[in-house]
Amino acid sequence: MKITVIGTGYVGLVSGTCLAEMGNDVLCLDLDARKIAILQDGEIPIHEPGLLEMVRRNVAAGRLRFTTSIEDSVAFGQLQFIAVGTPPDEDGSADLQYVLAAARNIGKHMTDYKVVIDKSTVPVGTGDRVKAALADELAKRGLDTPFSVVSNPEFLKEGAAVEDFMRPDRVVIGAEDERGIAMMRELYAPFIRNHDRVIVMDVRSAELTKYAANAMLATRISFMNELANLADVMGADIEQVRVGIGSDPRIGFHFLYPGCGYGGSCFPKDVQALIRTAEENGRQLKVLQSVEDANEAQKHLLLEKIDGRLGKDLAGKHFALWGLAFKPNTDDMRAASSRVVIQGLLERGATVTAYDPVAMNESRRIFGDETRLRYADAPMAALQDADALVIVTEWKEFRVPNFGAIKAALKLPLIFDGRNLYPPQQVRDNGLEYFAIGRR
């Protein structure tokens, strides 16, 4: 099939590349000439395991191309995926200007039937606005060329996005007309060969499904975080509680890991956007508002533990920080807990040396010329002259450290672990003081 993908951000680039990998002809459009130049040079502007090789392979095969030309991109695909950003407005609701501009551009240039597919995460009702914008542009040209508008939310996890796209556990398609539904089924058939995992529904339900999924997962995390904080004061061990409840198949083990808060480009933004959507429609999502508030508080928990042990004045204290990314296998620091922790340590007068396997450049970009924040090129190198170690991201390489060497390197042998990486007793047996989340 001939496919245009509008927007070469994270979702657009992964989707376009995976669709090409399945043998489709894909043209990716971005108005940012710098991004397109990077892609045309055989590089990618983001870090995602397996993606670079797949981009290069499909470019070489002639199935994947990149352009800045709106005319070319509209002419190319019978399927037009909209995968542009929906950044939060000041009040947390999603800003739809890029989605609607993409729809208008299609309406301005199309000459034959198109399926216009919303992949961006957009509030309920956006499908209708896309349809109206497109029809309006066609009407200005005196045309009534047929088109279908489809909602096809993505459920990609950063760090596993290629795998998630190639082997989806479900494909949600919101569509109102048979022609659009048939084309979407044909497109996804090779990705779900052995099971029919396509769930067809109306557009508004598909739009809400995306938010509902992320909001449910965020709820599980905030719930566990609050229980972990309770376990802390009650002398219970949240790890044991987690295993105890997760073994109930109605609950399950996924997304029950307490920590120093969730971050990333989806959960924080989507939770806020859903709360705003509800408010705009005269409803209050009380549970979700608490999920959001609890997460904000959780991002400050490591600082509270540090305050409790060392006091609020940290002038002259030096901290090693392991992990900057909001989770492993990505360099993404959007809404990352590390940002709150670094900011808090600097405000209290401390200095910090951070290590992260891939996110240090991103951190340099965010913190600019902050002189009290430095970087190390290896985990142990970050510990030089440090009083204490703070862990914010659960990278695999932090999982089996040499505790003897950590003890020898730290001036005060303290570990503040925001991801519960170690059995507490093992750390303590090595003469280190260990502060984790909800561990005995």
411 is in an annotated binding site: no
Q: How far is the CB of 35 from ligand UDX (least distance, A)?
A: 20
Residue 86 in the binding site for ligand UDX (CB under 6 A) = no
Site stretch for ligand UDX (CB under 6 A), options 152-160, 197-205, 361-369, 398-406: 152-160
Helix (H) or strand (E) holding 415: strand 414-417
- What is the SS3 string spanning 298-354? HHCHHHHHHHHHHCCCCCCCEEEEECCCCCCCCCCCCCCHHHHHHHHHHHCCCEEEE
210 is in an annotated binding site: yes
354 within 8 A of 392, measured Cβ to Cβ: no
Can you tell me the distance from the alpha carbon of 44 to that of 300, in angstroms, rounded to the nearest whole number? 34
Residue 255 in the binding site for ligand UDX (CB under 6 A) = yes
255 is in an annotated binding site: yes
Q: How far is the CB of 274 from ligand UDX (least distance, A)?
A: 13
Q: Name 286's Cβ contacts closer than 8 Å, sequence gap at least 6.
A: none
Nearer to ligand UDX by Cβ, of 158 and 331: the residue is 158
Nearer to ligand UDX by Cβ, of 75 and 217: the residue is 217
| Contact pick of 155, 188, 191, 223 for ligand UDX (by CB under 6 A) | 155
Q: How far is the CB of 97 from ligand UDX (least distance, A)?
A: 22
222 within 8 A of 291, measured Cβ to Cβ: yes
Burial of 57 (0-12, 13-18, 19+ CB in 10 A): middle
Q: How far is the CB of 213 from ligand UDX (least distance, A)?
A: 6
Residue 223 in the binding site for ligand UDX (CB under 6 A) = no
CA angle 50, 54, 60 (to 5 degrees): 155
Q: Strand (E) positions, 94-193?
A: 114-118, 147-151, 171-174
Q: How far is the CB of 11 from ligand UDX (least distance, A)?
A: 8
Q: How many residues does the chain have?
A: 440
Can you tell me the distance from the alpha carbon of 408 to that of 175, in angstroms, rounded to the nearest whole number? 62
User: One of 18, 28, 260, 266 is an active-site residue; which one?
Assistant: 266
Residue 215 in the binding site for ligand UDX (CB under 6 A) = no
Residue 326 in the binding site for ligand UDX (CB under 6 A) = yes
Site stretch for ligand UDX (CB under 6 A), options 154-162, 175-183, 338-346, 354-362: 154-162
Q: How far is the CB of 262 from ligand UDX (least distance, A)?
A: 3
Site stretch for ligand UDX (CB under 6 A), options 29-37, 38-46, 131-139, 254-262: 254-262
256 is in an annotated binding site: yes
Residue 158 in the binding site for ligand UDX (CB under 6 A) = yes
| Contact pick of 116, 172, 203, 256 for ligand UDX (by CB under 6 A) | 256
Q: Name 88's Cβ contacts closer than 8 Å, sequence gap at least 6.
A: 94, 95, 269, 272, 273
321 is in an annotated binding site: no
Residue 415 in the binding site for ligand UDX (CB under 6 A) = no
**260 a catalytic residue:** no
| Contact pick of 214, 222, 329, 430 for ligand UDX (by CB under 6 A) | 214
Strand 351-355 relative to strand 388-391, pairing: unpaired
Q: How far is the CB of 352 from ligand UDX (least distance, A)?
A: 20
What is the DSSP code (8-state) at residue 120?
S
**Cα-based distances in Å from 130 to 10, 98, 104, 151, 227:** 21, 11, 8, 10, 42
48 within 8 A of 158, measured Cβ to Cβ: yes
User: Residues in contact with ligand UDX, total (CB under 6 A)?
Assistant: 19
Nearer to ligand UDX by Cβ, of 103 and 336: the residue is 336
Tell which residue, 328, 338, 425, 421, has the closest CA to residue 375: 338
Can you tell me the distance from the alpha carbon of 393 to that of 379, in angstroms, rounded to the nearest whole number? 12
Query: Which residues within the stretch 259-298 sit at the binding site for ligand UDX (CB under 6 A)?
Result: 259, 262-264, 266-267
286 is in an annotated binding site: no
| Contact pick of 221, 302, 354, 392 for ligand UDX (by CB under 6 A) | 221
Residue 154 in the binding site for ligand UDX (CB under 6 A) = yes
Query: Sign of torsion, CA 401 403 404 409?
Result: positive
User: Residues with catalytic annotation?
Assistant: 266
Contact positions vs ligand UDX (CB under 6 A): 154-158, 214, 217, 221, 255-257, 259, 262-264, 266-267, 326-327
Annotated binding-site members for NAD(+): 30, 35, 86, 121, 158, 269, 334
**Binding site: residue ranges?**
30, 35, 86, 121, 155-158, 210, 255-259, 263, 269, 327, 334
Residue ranges of the annotated binding site for substrate are 155-158, 210, 255-259, 263, 327
